[in-house]
Structure 1
Amino acid sequence: MSTSDAGAKSPSQLIDERIASLGDWRGATLAKLRALIHEAEPEVVEEWKWRGVPTWYVHGGIVCTGETYKNAVKTTFAKGASLDDPKGLFNSSLDGNVRRAIDFHEGGEIDEVAFKALVKAAAAANLGGKRR
């Protein structure tokens, strides 16, 4: 969705509003994941796609999305199947050939180091596997 489609609000403003509107553990979790994404990849660009899905891009490709559901906050990594996941964070969309996702649930811990490593690996994958 372009900025004009959303009433001239930037994608970052729309993500802020989504986080605030949740008003529960899902908003706090999405905010934490967003902060970790920015820490891992300071060049990340935020977008608002598919009628309201926060999406983070680096190097011209999707790193991950942040979807919220009643019982989970899901981060879907566009090229997740090709990423090393030594800590086993991926726990959803495991049967696909390309994507992988992590479902975060209320009260669950976030392995910040492992999550940031996945974000960095996804950004590198957008460069064709070349490391910066």
Structure 2
Amino acid sequence: MKRRRAAKRGLTLIEVLLAVVILGISSSAILVGVSRCLAVIRKARHYENARRFLYRVELEHPLDREDIEASDRSGSFEGVAGYSWTREIEPVDPEFRPGLYRVSTRVLWSDRGEERAEEVTTYVYRPEED
């Protein structure tokens, strides 16, 4: 009588453990990637909102070349929490460039306890009156 060897079926314990380890590493890498993508999307959304608010400041508080002078202004956006704005107007170099002003408009917000800002700087020339 010949003994028949039982057909080898299934996986060994080492193969199963190796598959579980590979699955765990790959799933954790995927989760890290997804969380980073979500963080980038959140930051991009804040910067997009800040750009819209910069345009809103320009529309609601336009600069008049006739009345431009060194000053600081600030405010918040009605109906929107967490965002504020500042505008600084300063002469560039009154001695050598009279009438040239730097206008810096900045939108500020807080993202997870960290202060963020988006700023636009423009130059405005108002000739000196003789």
Q: TM-score range by the shorter chain?
A: under 0.3
Normalized per residue, which structure has more strand? 2
Give the TM-score, by structure 2 length: 0.26
Give the TM-score, by structure 1 length: 0.26
